[in-house]
Amino acid sequence: MKYDHHKHHRRSIRLKGYDYSQARAYFVTICSQGRKCLFGDVFDGEMRLNDVGTMVLDVCYKIPEHFPHTDIDKYVVMPNHFHGIIVINSDGRGMACHAPTHRQFAKPIAGSLSTIVGSFKSAITRQINLISNTPGHPVWQRNYYEHIIRSEEEMDHIREYIINNPLKWEYDENNPANIICIDVSSRRRRGMACHAPTNVI
């Protein structure tokens, strides 16, 4: 199945009953709170990370250290979001370092995609807030986007999308210049830039 950015990059509700610790490749997108450009900027089609963006990259590299059953395929840190392909190679239950096995509401299992992403987000948030002296300040949107990659062809399309993301930043829907307010009562688009909703379901 051909990768369709508009179809697969929208808000994703976890598949009911699906075990996200299964050996699969997952395309993940995580946006900053309010889609603020915290991690650097794009110049001439090239992403230039600032110190915070470098921190995000460092934590990304360390995911397999904390979750030995995982690999990180293609990835990119953009000004206000992160794209990555997380590959779970085997059943990771009980293998994650410091990963909770239960939560009161979502109840993800250890080694699952949600636990990996949650650990990634938490580690970056702690480091940023420690350096900035802003304890408890949110860095990421509450949830994240995910897509289960089901074929090599789809994997190749998503890899290409990730690699080319900085080149297409000018037209990216996450670029604050392209975020458009919507008048809910009339459903008319207003041509003014604004932050997207921060609570992703």
Extract the tokens encoding 4. Answer: 């369709």
Question: Any idea where the domains of the chain sit in the sequence?
Answer: 5-193
pLDDT at 8 over 70: no
Residue 117 CB contacts under 8 Å (≥ 6 apart), including other chains: 28, 30, 86, 144, 146
Residue 179 has what pLDDT? 77
pLDDT in tens, 68-93: 999 999 999 999 999 999 999 975 54
Q: How far apart are CA 171 and CA 182, in angstroms?
A: 18
pLDDT at 132 over 60: yes
pLDDT of residue 127: 94
Nearest to 63 by CA among 35, 36, 28: 28
pLDDT of residue 12 exceeding 70: no
Mean pLDDT of 40-54: 96
Give CA–CA dist 38/17, Å, rounded.
Answer: 35
Secondary structure of 88-129 in the HEC alphabet?
Answer: ECCCCCCCCCCCCCCCCCCCCCCCCHHHHHHHHHHHHHHHHH
**Number of residues assigned to the chain:** 201
Amino acid found at 139 = V
Six token digits for residue 61: 């590299």
* Residue 177 vs residues 11, 62, 149: alpha-carbon distances, Å: 20, 32, 30
Question: For all residues of the chain together, what is the average pLDDT?
Answer: 79
pLDDT, one tens digit per residue, over 27-43 is: 999 999 999 999 999 99
Rounded Cα–Cα distance for residues 118 and 67 (Å): 12
* Ordered alpha helix ranges (H), 133-199: 152-164
Alpha-carbon distances, residue 201 vs 45, 155, 191 (angstroms)? 31, 25, 25
How remote is the C-alpha of 99 from its chain's centroid? 18
5-193: CATH class: alpha beta
